[in-house]
Amino acid sequence: MKRSKRSGKLTAILAVCVVALGTTVYATGWADTLGESFAAATFALSPNTVSFSRSATTTDSNSNPPEKPVVKHLPTPVPLKAIYMTQCVAGTPTFRESVVKLIDDTELNAVVIDIRDYSGGIAFPTDDPLLKDMISDTCGARDMKAFVERLHEKGIYVIGRITVFQNPYYTKLHPEEAVQKKGGGVWKDRKGLAFVDVGSKPYWETVVALGKASYEIGFDELNFDYIRFPSDGPMNDIAFIWSGNRKKQDVLEDFFRYLHEKLHPLGIVTSADIFGMTTTNVNDLNIGQVLEKVSPYFDYVAPMVYPSHYPPQFNGWADPNAHPYDVVKYSMDQAVRRFLATTTVVVLNGVEPLASTTPPLYPKKPWNVEKLRPWLQDFDYGGNYDIAEVKAQITAVYDAGLTSWMLWAPSNRYTKGALLPE
């Protein structure tokens, strides 16, 4: 029985009653979320509450602007079981309906939809002056608000995924804010995609604006991806004008803090996608991501523990892709351990190390492990992922003491046999 579907009906009733490994990244070098370009080419712990506002059609005597219409937000389901949908599929009614049907027919209760994908184009129209020039002209759903409302009617929790610093669309408009080549000009990764310099604070404002606009049309949660420095490409020819020589992890932490300060007071639920190896490495993987410097600023943290993304010999496995259960279990065990720990070897800003410890240890608060919500692999890369492989990963999540997970398939076609019926 889907808790979210039943609670969706109850919410509607209540609404009527409301009165007013070293420093290198993965050996594969793959990006955060595999296969976005393929999908585009193919298809041209704080639960939130329901929010209400009065709708108005006329201004009052003081000429105040009309209030925004009612927008419903579903509470975060626990456990959460989600699948991913590209913005191209979201704009293709026949395809998106097949994804919705899968959610209806199985234990799934949530969907992650691209608000902005690898291209940098925004998936729905908006008049926000900071965003209106960045609407995608290739993929997206002009009826996104209505689509989200329909998902809510079915009791489906809707997460909006925002690709952040990989943004070739924005860098074309503002090349001065892009990661630069040492000799001048915009730096591009091996796929020919440009990144915004993490230190560019004018860009931060647009990220917050997009988050607010997305929440206002009904997205229940904002999921931030590509929250990192670039990793693949001519790394010897790269310059960070805005970030300068500061430590990457410190620049990123400033951004995380900024997001939290701007969005948390509005009651917006947030989540962060991070590389899987952040659970096992204490360095920043040369991209700025450190588990202890990400987790305090988001409601949920989603390590991308795709077995195919781990290098040969990781934890002694010649081919980690042949060990889907083991990779996920080991990675999430380490994440749980670090979440529950009251000390860390990671240097925390403003925190003095404990006395007489070698290496120096820093005190930290333990965090609720329910904040951990890993991305799991449901795509073939380096191996065949079918019912057994997907089930093995889900079982590993449970065996690590966790309850929530999300499946990633760039094709938007998922292994139904690995899922329990509704």
The whole-number pLDDT of residue 137 equals 87
Higher pLDDT, 373 or 7: 373
pLDDT tier at 291, thresholds 50, 70, 90: very high
The whole-number pLDDT of residue 68 equals 62
Lowest-confidence pick of 32-41, 228-237, 340-349: 32-41
pLDDT tier at 19, thresholds 50, 70, 90: very low
Residue 65 lies in a domain: no
Residue 66 lies in a domain: no
Domain of residue 222: give its range.
Answer: 3-56+78-418
Residue 397 lies in a domain: yes
Lowest-confidence pick of 20-29, 339-348, 352-361: 20-29
Residue 124 has pLDDT above 70, yes or no: yes
Residue 296 has pLDDT above 60, yes or no: yes
Lowest-confidence pick of 35-44, 116-125, 365-374: 35-44
The whole-number pLDDT of residue 40 equals 40
The whole-number pLDDT of residue 357 equals 86
Residue 293 has pLDDT above 90, yes or no: yes
Average pLDDT, the chain: 87
Tell me: the pLDDT tens digits for 53-104?
A: 323 333 444 556 556 667 999 999 999 999 999 999 999 999 999 999 999 9
Residue 322 lies in a domain: yes
CA distance 288 to 240: 13
Average pLDDT over residues 286-299: 98
pLDDT tier at 359, thresholds 50, 70, 90: confident
Residue 111 lies in a domain: yes
Number of independent structural domains in the chain: 1
The whole-number pLDDT of residue 70 equals 76
Write down the pTM of the prediction: 0.86
Lowest-confidence pick of 13-22, 112-121, 188-197, 396-405: 13-22
Residue 349 lies in a domain: yes
The whole-number pLDDT of residue 48 equals 37
Residue 117 lies in a domain: yes
Q: What is the CATH number of the domain that holds 142?
A: 3.20.20.80
Average pLDDT over residues 186-211: 97
Residue 67 lies in a domain: no
The whole-number pLDDT of residue 10 equals 39
The whole-number pLDDT of residue 166 equals 98
Average pLDDT over residues 317-333: 97
